Amino acid sequence: MNNILISVVGPTAIGKTKLGILLANYFKTEIISADSRQFFKEMNIGTAVPDKEELAQAKHNFIQHKSVLETYTVGDFEREALQKLSHLFEKHKVVIMVGGSGLYVNAITEGLNNFPTVDPNIRKQLNAELENSGIAALQTKLKELDPTYYGKVDINNPQRVIRALEVTIGSGTPYSSFVNQPKEKRNFNVLTIGLKAERAMIYDRINKRVDLMIDNGLLEEAKNMLSFKNLNALQTVGYKELFKYFEGDWTLDFAVSEIKKNTRRFAKRQLTWFLRNKNTIWVNYDYEPKKLLNEIDDEIKKLKHG
């Protein structure tokens, strides 16, 4: 248990990439990305993938290594990332993980619940139902089949609702019955660093980032993805709003304002998720690098000495 995974978390646009690179260079190690939308090579601007300069500063893994046309689940990520970690820990005592996708972070730090394999056609049928009837029909179905999970899940998140229904229908057992089962212990220590800021500051950074994405060509990137709009990967803030614009439902100004609003809501959900981990060390976004590195060194010593 001498190996340590430093997990950098926090809301979108807070500066996780910058801190991850600082830590990777300090510890002379590599970064694993746990951002579930940065996995896809077709989604670049809208997912705030580290730019060429940032990627050159530290070795990143799990960045744009999949196509939106491929099915890639959190279970796939858990398996592949743990395998990668085992190789990295042969060369490095410390590895950095950076990402704001809470479920994907937890998959590595704690482990996933053990869900059964189900027929992939069920998901296709549910996606078709989402397209034809909207999310309300799926919400009603989940409430009937698994009221326990319905009361806990973000019912406005189509991926979560579809995943719960997929498992429930495919296994004949409520999704909630698979949750919180004993999980496999990790053979490394985890040190979680959370970046924080005043809410007004987070929202300001989000608004500026969205404007920058538009300036950098998000419109064209999203237009090129229009034919893939029903894929799970594209049920993502920044794309789904622009699809409404391309289809004539919204004006561009309204679509951009919705991207900002939905990104702010997403950041709020991220904070709620990460605040549940009472072991997280919270650091202000404008930290002093040398002081922070000293504090992290101290925390690592504590971990190693129990």
Model confidence pLDDT, tens digit, residues 148-185: 999 988 888 888 899 999 999 999 999 998 887 767 78
* 200 three-state secondary structure: helix
Model confidence pLDDT, tens digit, residues 5-43: 999 999 999 999 999 999 999 999 999 999 999 999 999
Q: Residues at the annotated binding site for substrate? A: 12-17
pLDDT of residue 169: 95
pLDDT of residue 96: 98
For residue 63, what pLDDT band results from cuts at 50, 70 and 90? Answer: very high
Going by C-beta distance under 8 Å and a sequence separation of 6 or more, which residues neighbour residue 250? 241, 244, 258
C-beta of residue 214 within 8 angstroms of C-beta of residue 275 = no
pLDDT of residue 1: 65
Q: Residues at the annotated binding site? A: 10-17
Residue 112 structure tokens: 């996933």
Model confidence pLDDT, tens digit, residues 75-129: 899 999 999 999 999 999 999 999 999 999 999 999 987 778 889 899 999 999 9
Residue matched to tokens 């077709």: 42
Residue matched to tokens 């990777």: 24
pLDDT of residue 196: 97
Residue 222 structure tokens: 């999203």
pLDDT of residue 154: 87
Separation CA 167–CA 142 (nearest Å): 11
Least confident of 9-13, 135-139, 281-285, 302-306: 302-306
Least confident of 49-58, 89-98, 116-125, 217-226: 116-125
pLDDT of residue 297: 97
Q: What is the pTM of this model?
A: 0.83
Q: Which domains does the chain show, CATH number per domain? A: 4-112+183-304 (3.40.50.300), 120-178 (1.10.20.140)
Residue matched to tokens 């060429």: 52
Q: Residues at the annotated binding site for ATP? A: 10-17
> Any long-range contacts for 64-72 (C-beta under 8 Å, 24+ apart)?
64/38, 64/39, 64/40, 65/39, 65/41, 66/39, 66/40, 66/41, 67/40, 67/41, 67/42, 68/40, 68/42, 68/43, 68/225, 68/228, 68/231, 68/233, 68/234, 69/228, 69/231, 71/120, 72/39
Residue 177 structure tokens: 């019955």
Q: List residues bridging with 191 in a β-sheet.
A: 6
**Is pLDDT at 143 greater than 80 in this prediction?**
yes
Q: Which amino acid is at 96?
A: I
pLDDT of residue 61: 98
Q: At what angle do helices 252-274 and 199-215 cross, to 10 degrees?
A: 140
Strand segments (E) across the chain: 4-9, 31-33, 60-61, 94-98, 189-196, 281-284
Q: List residues bridging with 193 in a β-sheet.
A: 8, 281
The predicted model gives 45-70 an average pLDDT of 96
The torsion defined by the Cα of 175, 181, 184 and 186, in degrees rounded to 10, comes to: 90
Separation CA 299–CA 89 (nearest Å): 19
> Any long-range contacts for 196-204 (C-beta under 8 Å, 24+ apart)?
196/10, 196/14, 196/282, 196/283, 196/284, 196/285, 197/14, 197/284, 197/285, 197/286, 201/285, 202/11, 202/13, 202/14, 202/264, 202/267, 203/264, 203/267
C-beta of residue 165 within 8 angstroms of C-beta of residue 126 = yes
The percentage of the chain sitting over the pLDDT mark of 90, rounded to a whole number, equals 83
Q: What is the DSSP letter of 93?
A: S
Q: For strand 4-9 and strand 60-61, is the pairing parallel, antiparallel, or unpaired? A: unpaired
pLDDT of residue 157: 87
pLDDT of residue 219: 97
**Is pLDDT at 306 greater than 70 in this prediction?**
no
